[in-house]
Amino acid sequence: MLTPRQQLILSVIVDDYVQSAEPVGSRTLSKHEHFHLSAATIRNEMADLEQLGYLDQPHASAGRIPSQKGYRYYVDHLSSEGRLDGETVRALQELFRQRMDEWERVAQQTSTVLSQLTQYTTIVLGPHIHQERIKQIQLIPLGGAKAVAILVTDAGQVASRQVQLSDDIPAEQVAVMVHLLNQRLTGTPLFRFGSLMYKELASEIGNVLEHYEDALLVLDELAKVVNENQRVFVGGTTNILSQPEFRDVDKVKPLLEMLEQPDWVPAVMSLQPKAGVEVRIGMENGLPTLQSCTVISATYTVAGVPVGSVGVIGPTRMHYDRVIRILDYASQVLSHAMTARLAGK
Partner DNA sequence: ATTAGCACTCGTTGCAGGAAAGTGCTAATA
Partner DNA sequence: TATTAGCACTTTCCTGCAACGAGTGCTAAT
Binding mask 216-255 for a second copy (x = CB under 8 A): -------------------xxxx--xx---xxxx--xx--
Task: Give the angle 209-211-214 at the CA atoms, nearest 5°.
Answer: 120
- Say if CB 118 and CB 319 are below 8 A apart: yes
Nearer to DNA, 30 or 173 (CB): 30
The verdict on 140 binding a second copy (CB under 8 A) reads yes
Q: How far is the CB of 322 from DNA (least distance, A)?
A: 25
Phi, psi of 14 (to 5 degrees): -60, -50
Q: How far is the CB of 237 from a second copy (least distance, A)?
A: 6
Query: How many residues of this chain bind DNA (CB under 7 A)?
Result: 25
Of the residues 154, 204, 213, 220, which one makes contact with a second copy according to CB under 8 A: 154
Please state whether 134 falls in left (phi above 0), alpha (psi between -120 and 50) or beta: beta
The least distance separating DNA from the CB of residue 65, rounded to whole angstroms, comes to: 10
DSSP string for residues in 256-306: HHHHHSGGGHHHHSPPPSS-EEEEEEGGGG--GGGTTEEEEEEEEEETTEE
For residue 279, which of 337, 214, 328 has the smallest C-alpha distance?
328
Nearer to DNA, 46 or 95 (CB): 46
Q: Are 30 and 42 in contact (CB under 8 A)?
A: yes
Query: Least distance to DNA from the beta carbon of 296, Å?
Result: 28
Per DSSP, the three-state class of 195 is coil
Q: Is 23 in the site for DNA (CB under 7 A)?
A: yes
Contact positions with DNA (CB under 7 A) in 46-105: 46-47, 50, 57, 59-64
Q: Which residues contact 217 (CB under 8 A, 6 or more apart)?
A: 163, 165
Rounded least distance, CB 250 to DNA, Å: 17
Closest CA to 328 of 116, 126, 81, 16: 81
What's the rounded Cα separation, in Å, for the pair 5 and 67?
18
Let me know the angle formed at the C-alpha of 241 by 239 and 247, rounded to the nearest 5 degrees.
155
37: partner contacted, choices DNA, a second copy, none (Cβ within 5-8 A by kind): DNA
Establish if 289 lies at the interface with a second copy (CB under 8 A): no
28 binds DNA per the rule CB under 7 A: yes
Indicate the residue among 28 and 112 with the shorter CB distance to DNA: 28
Q: Name the burial class of residue 216, with classes exposed (0-12), middle (13-18) and buried (19+) by CB atoms within 10 angstroms of its CB.
A: middle
208 binds a second copy (CB under 8 A): no
Identify which of residues 39 and 91 has a Cβ nearer to DNA in the complex: 39
CB within 8 Å of 105: residues ≥ 6 apart: none
Closest CB to DNA among residues 67, 297: 67
Q: Does the footprint of a second copy cover residue 148 (CB under 8 A)? A: yes
Window 248-287: residues binding a second copy (CB under 8 A): 248-249, 252-253, 256-257, 260
Of 26, 67, 88, 316, the one binding DNA (CB under 7 A) is: 26
CA distance linking residue 75 with residue 96, whole number of Å? 28
287 binds DNA (CB under 7 A): no
How many angstroms separate the CA atoms of 178 and 174, rounded? 6
Total of residues contacting a second copy (CB under 8 A): 37
Angstrom distance (rounded) from CA 212 to CA 196: 17
- Could you list the residues that contact a second copy (CB under 8 A)? 99, 101-102, 135-136, 138, 140, 142-144, 146, 148, 150, 152, 154-156, 158, 160-162, 235-238, 241-242, 246-249, 252-253, 256-257, 260, 345
- Could you list the residues that contact DNA (CB under 7 A)? 22-28, 36-41, 43-44, 46-47, 50, 57, 59-64
